[in-house]
Structure formats: C-alpha cells, structure tokens
C-alpha cells in the first residue's frame, strides 16, 4: 500500500496513463545518437527521458515493473509477454552450452518442456529434483548446477519447497535460486525475502486475476534484472502497454481476491478430505498435509489451488469434472471464477505419459483453481457433484 500522500499523474489524473507508444522522439538527431551511444534505454524511473523504442522500455510497463518489484520486496522487476517468455528469458540469460540446471518437480507442463526438451538442443541439460526433499537438493548440488528452478507450491501437486533451506544450499554451491511464485502470489509468499535470487510470475494467473490477459514477470536484484533485460531487449518478449495497464488495475484488488481464494480453497480442501468418495487431497493448508509445517513457516496463506483424486480413477474424475456446476472446464488458474481440469490430460499433457506419475502428476488428479465466489456456493456445487457421482 502507498505510504504518504497518493501520487497523481499528468493532468492530475487519478489513474496512471497508458503510453501506447512504440517510439519516443528527440529534438535533435545528435540527442538520439547520444542516447543510443550510452546504451539501450534501461530506464531507472517512469519519468525518465531516455526511452527510445518500446522493445527496450515503455513508461507503462516500467511502472508495473516497479510495482511488482515492490510487492515482491525486491530492487527491480521486468515484465514479459507471458510467464513462459519470462522463464525462457531467465534460462537464456544464465545458461550456456555445457552447463546444467536443476529443476524442481513437478512444474507446469510447458516449463518442463523448456528445460527437458528445448534447452538440451543448445547444450544446456536439466536434472529433475524433488525440491520438497532437502536430501535430494543436497545430492543435486553435487552436480554443480548453475541454477535451481522450482515452483512452490508446485503445479499440480502443491508440494512445498523449504525455500530458506534450499537457498542456504544454493548460496553454498554458488547456484542461482529461481522460484516460480505464481501459485502462492506475493500476497502469500515472498521468495526473495526467504533467500531466492529471482522470483517469477505468470501474470496471467492470480495477479492478472480475471482471465483477460497474458503476461509474465521476473523480480530480483538490479544486477540480475539488468542482465535479463538485455536478453529481453534482444529477443523481444515484452508486455504490451495495455496489458501492463490492466495488470496495474488488477493489483488494486490482488490482496482481497487472494484472501478470498485462500479461504475458499481451504474450505474446499477440508470438505473433500472428509468425503467418502475422495481418495486423496493435496493442499498444504490441511493439517494432514506433509507440507503444512514448511508452508506455515514461509507462507501467509496457502493459496487458491486444490488438487484431489477420487476413488474410481480417471473415469470418475472425468465424470465429476463434467458434472460440476459453477466451475469452468478450462486451463489457467487464479481467476475470479473457479476453473477445473485434469492436468495429466491437459496442462501437463506435454510431460511424457511414462514419467508423469514419477514427476508428481497422477493420471487421475483433478486440479481446481477456486474463484472469489461465496464459499457456501462453491461448497454446495462440489457437494452436489460428489453426491451425483
């Protein structure tokens, strides 16, 4: 929240303007040449006069970058066209032929594909590690990975990684720790404050929050962000100014939305856990969860995603998803409306069937991303669908 007197914008506008400009002009060609000479415009402030060309920066994106950096308690930030553009830019910045990355599992399907399929084509290999097991992380460090990338809670198993413990190991072994904080959101968790070097978001999810934009972000120390900014400038995965403005608008309600989603998810997880037709529930907020102790230590809320398995396997899971009222059958998560899907068939379909199970993606797992609807309505819909099974 802003401290002190709220800032107004040009013309005393209450809301920041959208600079829908790809190009910024100069009074004299010498001034433009001098600006080019002094390096790409990586502007430190929104009011800076060094903007040249929007692939290298635009004041609207820049305001969002600084807002996100503040939310993640970091010095600087960078916004992208999607979460995947952010992840790829980080991997391209710190990878080089012959090096190895350690990657926590499970991770989002396309993230898996970047590390398992795309990067090895350029000589960057990946070893997959269960980062919720500190012993496995310790063993992984013996291979001297340049970077450890993980999600916590992880998609779709909601496994939790002890970030302080992993950060200590990474520091000792000179390994960059990059955490995808999409599931937790900065409302519930700040990985950099727990020792990570960089934090990543798919802005498409809770931060955007309304299923109406695609975006990504990275936040961290200025030096690292400046290196990633150069990759972004060359490769071009920038966020459009209008999408950046929409994200800024979404930030105003982020805390309210996430608090309701935390409450809804916990209530749903408790309901499912008690239900005789449910085989297993995955939610770090449940007292029965093996991840609760670490989650309580590092998170302020347990997040808006619940995964579960029904008795009766994949056939029952499909039938349940099709019958459930009040939820959309869709990919993505973090929206105002509840979204439901079966990861092994959809968001994690790209992970080979033979390894899905061993990477924490059971075939019949159902993933629910709760919305901000009234808790009683959400629970009533689930109770009805379970009864009808």
Stretch 79-98: interaction string toward ligand PLP, x if CB under 6 A: ---xxx--------------
- Residues 267, 152: contact at Cβ < 8 Å? no
**Strand locations in 48-145, DSSP E?**
76-80, 100-104, 125-129
Beta bridge pairs of residue 230: none
Paired tokens of 301: 């809320």
Stretch 291-330: interaction string toward ligand PLP, x if CB under 6 A: ----------------------------------------
- Is 246 one of the binding residues for ligand PLP (CB under 6 A)? no
The minimum distance between CB 353 and ligand PLP, in angstroms, equals 20
d(C-alpha 184, C-alpha 192), whole Å = 13
- Is 381 one of the binding residues for ligand PLP (CB under 6 A)? no
Binding to ligand PLP (CB under 6 A) within 110-139 occurs at 111
Measured from the CB atom, the residue of 41 and 92 that comes closer to ligand PLP is: 92
Using the rule CB under 6 A, give the single segment among 180-188, 218-226, 241-249, 287-295 that binds ligand PLP: 180-188
d(C-alpha 354, C-alpha 105), whole Å = 15
The minimum distance between CB 380 and ligand PLP, in angstroms, equals 28
Q: Which residue is nearest to ligand PLP (CB)?
A: 83
Query: In this structure, what DSSP letter does residue 343 have?
Result: G
Q: In what order do the strands lie in the sheet with 338-341?
A: 278-282, 305-310, 366-369, 338-341, 327-329
**Which is nearest to 299 in space by CA: 201, 177, 135, 162?**
162
The minimum distance between CB 191 and ligand PLP, in angstroms, equals 13
d(C-alpha 368, C-alpha 333), whole Å = 8
The minimum distance between CB 147 and ligand PLP, in angstroms, equals 16
Binding site for ligand PLP (CB under 6 A): 82-84, 108, 111, 151, 155, 180, 182-183, 202, 204, 214, 216
């Amino acid at each position: 929240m802003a401290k002190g007197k709220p800032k107004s914008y040009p013309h005393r506008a209450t809301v920041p303007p959208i600079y829908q400009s790809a190009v910024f002009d100069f009074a004299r060609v010498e001034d433009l040449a001098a600006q080019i000479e002094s390096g790409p415009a990586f502007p430190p402030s929104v009011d800076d006069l060094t903007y040249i060309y929007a692939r290298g920066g635009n004041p609207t994106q820049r305001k969002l970058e600084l807002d996100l950096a503040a939310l993640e308690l970091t010095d600087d930030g960078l916004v992208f066209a999607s979460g995947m553009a952010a992840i790829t830019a980080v991997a391209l910045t710190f990878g080089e032929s012959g090096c190895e990355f350690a990657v926590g599992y499970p991770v989002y399907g396309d993230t898996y594909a970047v590390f398992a399929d795309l990067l090895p084509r350029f000589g960057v290999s990946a070893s997959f590690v269960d980062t919720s097991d500190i012993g496995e992380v310790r063993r992984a460090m013996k291979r001297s990975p340049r970077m450890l990338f993980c999600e916590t809670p992880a998609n779709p198993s909601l496994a939790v990684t002890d970030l302080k413990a992993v950060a200590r190991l990474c520091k000792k072994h000179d390994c960059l720790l990059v955490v995808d904080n999409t599931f937790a959101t900065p409302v519930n968790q700040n990985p950099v404050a727990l020792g990570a070097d960089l934090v990543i978001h798919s802005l498409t999810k809770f931060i955007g929050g309304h299923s109406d934009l695609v975006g990504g972000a990275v936040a961290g120390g200025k030096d690292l962000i400046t290196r990633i900014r150069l990759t972004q400038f060359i490769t071009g995965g920038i966020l459009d100014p209008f999408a950046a403005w929409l994200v800024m608008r979404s930030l105003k309600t982020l805390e309210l939305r996430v608090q309701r989603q935390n409450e809804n998810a916990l209530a749903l997880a408790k309901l499912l856990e008690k239900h005789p037709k449910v085989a297993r529930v995955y939610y770090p907020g449940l007292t029965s969860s093996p991840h609760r102790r670490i989650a309580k230590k590092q998170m302020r809320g347990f997040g808006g995603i619940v995964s579960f398995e029904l008795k009766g396997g994949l056939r029952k899971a499909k039938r349940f998803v099709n019958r459930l009222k009040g939820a959309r059958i869709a990919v993505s998560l973090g929206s105002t409306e509840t979204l439901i899907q079966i990861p092994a068939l959809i968001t994690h379909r790209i992970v080979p069937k033979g390894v899905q199970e061993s990477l924490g993606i059971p075939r019949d797992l159902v993933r629910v991303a709760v919305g901000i609807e009234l808790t009683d309505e959400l629970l009533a819909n689930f109770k009805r669908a379970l009864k009808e099974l």
